[in-house]
Every structure is written in C-alpha cells, then in structure tokens.
Structure 1
Amino acid sequence: MSAIINMLVRAVRGAAVYNPDAQSAPCCVLWPDGDCQWEPVAARLQAEMPELFILGDYDVLKRTGPAIWLRCVIADKAPKVEL
C-alpha cells in the first residue's frame, strides 16, 4: 500500500473514533465529494477498506448504491452484504 493511500485509510478510519463516555458510536463517516475529485482514488481505497461503501449506482460487487441501499447496509438488512 502506498504511503498516501495508507495515510488516507488511517484518516478515514480515524474519523470514526469517538469517546464512548461522551458520544454515541458513529454509524458511518460521510465524505462529501460534490466535484468527484476523489472518484479515481475510491476503488483503491475500497481495496484497502472492505468497510467502505460509496453512494452511486447500485452494484453490490463494487459496494456502491443509492442512499436507501446504504442505509440498509448500515442496518445490516442488505442481502449479500457483510460489513
């Protein structure tokens, strides 16, 4: 894994860290990318982070889908998907 990808993976995973004495556990980390500048990197990040799902067209194998599907994934109600 390249150093930059490694840093990005640590940063995304670090965004989910919380204090259980003061906060509720986050169910997801949102990474807005309105201009799709990070789109070329997304597949590489997904290769390193099996827990990374992306808002987009529905494709279970690519772990992408619409918002309602992502909500089902978070709720552990999406068939054929494991977190």
Structure 2
Amino acid sequence: MGDWSWEWLPSLEEVAAGLPSEVLSAVEKAAADLATVNSMVYLDGVDFQSTGPGIRTHSDPARNLLFEYLTVPRQECISITQVTWLGL
C-alpha cells in the first residue's frame, strides 16, 4: 500500500472557492478516506498499467454535498475536480 494523497484540481480557488469551512473539512476528510480506499484497490500504484476508473462521484446527503474526483493510480492520487453544495 503506497502513500496515496489527494489534491484540488486545478486548485482550491477554482474548485471550491467560497464554501464554508465545515464543507471544505467534509470534502477533505472524504478525499483522504477515498485515497486510503484506493490505495487498497490499486495495489500496483505507480506501476499500474491499465486505464483508471475515470471521474467518479462521492455524495454526502446529510450535508447536501456532492463532489467529483479523479483517481490517478500511477500518481497514487485522488484529484477533487468539482464540489457542489446545496446549502443547509
């Protein structure tokens, strides 16, 4: 199991500017959890040779939160590409 990480793609300002800190915290925690899960799914990590799963969606109905992320096994990284929050 590698040292997977997560990032905002292209940047926090582009993806989630203006969201409340509690929403950002929820996204960050979920992204860290997804990185951990994907490190167990893509055991080859940097040596992965197949096509990755593409853009996927994570939802948190309790927080009215949805975000899209890209899993990049060869970089051992989860990239958050879009966040949608419907408010409280």
**TM-score scaled to structure 1, two decimals?**
0.30
**TM-score scaled to structure 2, two decimals?**
0.29
